[in-house]
Chains A and B, each alone.
Chain A
Amino acid sequence: EAQVTQNPRYLITVTGKKLTVTCSQNMNHEYMSWYRQDPGLGLRQIYYSMNVEVTDKGDVPEGYKVSRKEKRNFPLILESPSPNQTSLYFCASSLWTSGGAYEQYFGPGTRLTVT
């Protein structure tokens, strides 16, 4: 089954404790992206990647890091989480051409609470 998986699905942590949210896709997609969803703000793009070792900042990259060492995986790293990073996070993947990315498939989400 074609899918995007995220782990963990729920996470409660404390300020400053480094964490990683994993994302994996089995569709051989070049493009992967991370979003955060907050009430009244919709989805905002954090980082995206067009292929292995190619990443770029989205609209709200501050406080986050990513890496793309393998095509299927795109982990999101919060090196020093703060309460304002409490949010619902989604990973997505898509085919990519020189024209860009189009139909994105989203994972089930990771609800992060930072106290």
Chain B
Amino acid sequence: QQQVKQSPQSLIVQKGGISIINCAYENTAFDYFPWYQQFPGKGPALLIAIRPDVSEKKEGRFTISFNKSAKQFSLHIMDSQPGDSATYFCAASGGNQFYFGTGTSLTVIP
């Protein structure tokens, strides 16, 4: 079964808006939660990551919010730009093995 559940499958946001992608997990042994960005024809690239000992991490316009009790984490993209249009994957790891969400296709309309 899917170890990490991601939603929505696709997202359309106006330029300047906030994009929010959500993920949920069940395995409490997971201790590393990265987000990857993938452009067409390219491999995924690490965007930002969080450990469960903090509830939020911000890097530029990208923020991860982490809710350990709910076993959920989300990516917020502030002031979304057309260049942010890509597929985003959340993931979780408890050591050597990684589990990815099914991906969210983000389109930012100018």
Interface size class of B (residues with CB under 8 A): 20 to 34
B6 touching A31, Cβ below 8 Å: no
Contacts of A42 in B (CB 8 A): 6, 89, 100-103
| Interchain CA distance A93-B62 in the complex, whole Å | 24
The dominant DSSP class at the A interface is strand
A83-115: CB near B (< 8 Å → 1, else 0) gives: 000000010100010011111111111000000
Q: Sort chain A's interface into a size bin.
A: 20 to 34
CB neighbours (8 Å) of A62 from chain B are none
- In angstroms, Cα B3 to Cα A45, docked, is 12
Residues in B whose Cβ lies below 8 Å from that of A101: 93, 95-96, 98
Is A29's beta carbon under 8 Å from chain B?
A: no
A34: min CB distance to chain B, Å: 11
Tell me how many residue pairs across A and B have CB atoms closer than 8 Å. 69
From residue 15 to 53 of chain B, which have CB atoms closer than 8 A to chain A? 31-32, 34, 36, 41-46, 49
Contact A109 B43 (CB under 8 A): yes
Point out the residues of chain A lying under 8 angstroms from B96, CB to CB.
31, 48, 50, 56, 96, 100-101
Q: A56-B96, A109-B43 provided; 19 other pairs, C-beta below 8 A? A: A31-B96, A40-B102, A42-B103, A43-B89, A48-B96, A58-B97, A58-B98, A90-B43, A96-B96, A100-B32, A100-B93, A102-B34, A103-B34, A103-B46, A104-B34, A105-B46, A106-B43, A106-B44, A109-B42
Interface of B with A (CB < 8 Å)? Answer: 6, 31-32, 34, 36, 41-46, 49, 89, 91, 93-103
Could you list some 17 contacts between A and B, CB below 8 A?
A33-B98, A42-B89, A45-B100, A48-B97, A56-B97, A58-B97, A96-B96, A99-B95, A100-B31, A100-B32, A100-B93, A100-B94, A100-B95, A102-B32, A103-B49, A106-B43, A109-B41
